[in-house]
Structure 1
């Protein structure tokens, strides 16, 4: 139910605009699709499971059937744990979409068992950070042509209390901790946001704003691995906490705020919660770590070091 949950009150429309949302067949992503659809936007649902995504799209259309001035919903395949899938998806979007006004990097995995991506990276770092890093940079030229545009990275307050371990990003020398791996991937989301905003400004690319956010603690499918990661004796605590969790609709509000609200239209590189900017952790403001993560990520996903120069 969420005892404290801010709401995006903006009435901004998305008529004639295109928004891409990753991992949005359930939870806060699905709620974000419905909101953008209701605002008249063309919403591209980029999801791994096309069958579930199409079912979600039909469900949203049914829920909105009595509303006017709706947009349209398009479904496309995207598996963020596969660089091949990401590149194929980006290629399709660049050819089919005339513009990309909003990109919401919403998809994520949380506290899953130790697993590797198709390309050999720890699943949470590979999906939550590297996957979205690659997708964003591949789509960036089109985003820059669609200004004013926004890039929204869904992170978590879980980014606090950890640092990037650049000596072992893949958890090959440390004992694997699904919780710490998740925290590191969420810290990477905030650092990526900060560094992307800095590099856009440094390269005199204007009109593209970047946001990271904590949606709140939400009852969604994302936490399905959590029960497997904690001792049985603490499940009562999880059950108690669930009474205070937000609904997916409540959890989507800060994402929607960052994507459409006029009040943050001139802000970039900041971190948000409850529909307002907040201070992230000290490590999330570490400029050296942000630069290093950028450089390392470019190499890991196979992009050129002079990426921004190539966009001019």
Structure 2
């Protein structure tokens, strides 16, 4: 039977208190460079919309140039009265194809000398069993974990450059978790045998494992990159009505939208807090709608202590290795 602390942790993530860090709390960000993956819709779009009036340069990375340019136009139209409008730039990337990830990093590095905050937001959820990436990696793990790690490692020199002159703790990599880490992840967070064999049996578990994977990657990055002045943070943006549920059957999706899912902008508050709040420190685990939290899964914490996060980092690096140089 779940402990009272476990139930409380689930409850407060399902039904969070009102956000305290919103667009009103974001200070001017002029001269800062941000990159958001999956930014043409949903969470990424709402975050870019919040950041645009701050004066930042914001790269909106996605597969579709057409949809991203439409999103850029909508953001600009919504902020015609902005006194310090930022810059919105499309960057093509397909997180289900590692060569595309590498090309996106190369293109970004050709245009910028630094990167202040990277939000690894793009991902898939509930994909049909058997879905794989272009490199034949299980779809959720490949898209949500391997690709973001490759992308971040390729962009690491620009993050390090930003950290040399930025305020301490302000250069960050934000990874995207989920409440499903706590509710659907297999024992110890990830079933390594299943993902290696590509013979998973439940797409919800696949998705949850990929979100645990992001927690693992954030944990390892926090250790590895702290000497460079780069903070690594994982956040559960909340239960949101986004395209991540596009694979869920229509009837079930309608039930979720009615009972459990919130407006997407609330998840963007979580992401903004994780990336910009001065309260957040390296290694943080952020709950909706912008609070310090901690997963109630004792087995996963124990697995991390025993090296599971390091093992997963190494596993992902091996998959990405051909594209790292």
Cα deviation per residue 1:93-128 (whole Å; 9 max; x = unaligned)? 111112100100001101011311111111111000
Moved over 4 A (4+): none
**1:271 equivalenced with 2:285 (yes/no):** yes
CA distance in 1, matches of 2:72, 2:218: 29
CA shift for structure 1 position 66: 1.4
Question: Alpha carbons of 1:271 and 1:3: their partners in 2 closer, same or farther (altered >3 Å)?
Answer: closer
Q: Secondary structure at the match of 1:117?
A: coil
Q: CA RMSD in A?
A: 2.0
CA distance in 2, matches of 1:61, 1:126: 33
Give the corresponding residue for 1:6: 19
Give the corresponding residue for 2:210: 185
CA distance in 2, matches of 1:68, 1:144: 30
Gaps of 5+ in 2: 1-14
**1:150 equivalenced with 2:172 (yes/no):** yes
Give the corresponding residue for 1:136: 152
CA distance in 1, matches of 2:143, 2:199: 20
Give the corresponding residue for 1:51: 66
Q: 8 Å contact 1:190–1:284 — kept in the other structure? A: no
CA shift for structure 1 position 294: 1.1
Q: 8 Å contact 2:113–2:161 — kept in the other structure? A: no
Structure 1 residues 43-192: aligned runs within 5 Å: 43-114=58-129, 115-147=131-163, 148=166, 149-160=171-182, 161-162=185-186, 163-170=189-196, 172-174=198-200, 176-192=201-217
CA shift for structure 1 position 243: 3.9
CA distance in 2, matches of 1:273, 1:240: 20
CA distance in 2, matches of 1:55, 1:199: 38
Give the corresponding residue for 1:291: 310
Question: Alpha carbons of 1:74 and 1:200: their partners in 2 closer, same or farther (altered >3 Å)?
Answer: same
Q: 8 Å contact 1:3–1:244 — kept in the other structure? A: no
Question: Alpha carbons of 1:113 and 1:77: their partners in 2 closer, same or farther (altered >3 Å)?
Answer: same
Cα deviation per residue 1:211-247 (whole Å; 9 max; x = unaligned)? 101111111121121226xxx6xx3x95265244211
CA distance in 2, matches of 1:23, 1:50: 12
**1:256 equivalenced with 2:272 (yes/no):** yes
Which one is further off, 219-228 or 121-130?
Answer: 219-228
Q: Secondary structure at the match of 1:167?
A: helix
CA distance in 2, matches of 1:7, 1:18: 24
Q: 8 Å contact 2:137–2:198 — kept in the other structure? A: no
Give the corresponding residue for 2:224: 199
Report the TM-score, using the length of structure 2 for normalisation. Answer: 0.85
Report the TM-score, using the length of structure 1 for normalisation. Answer: 0.88
CA distance in 2, matches of 1:268, 1:116: 32
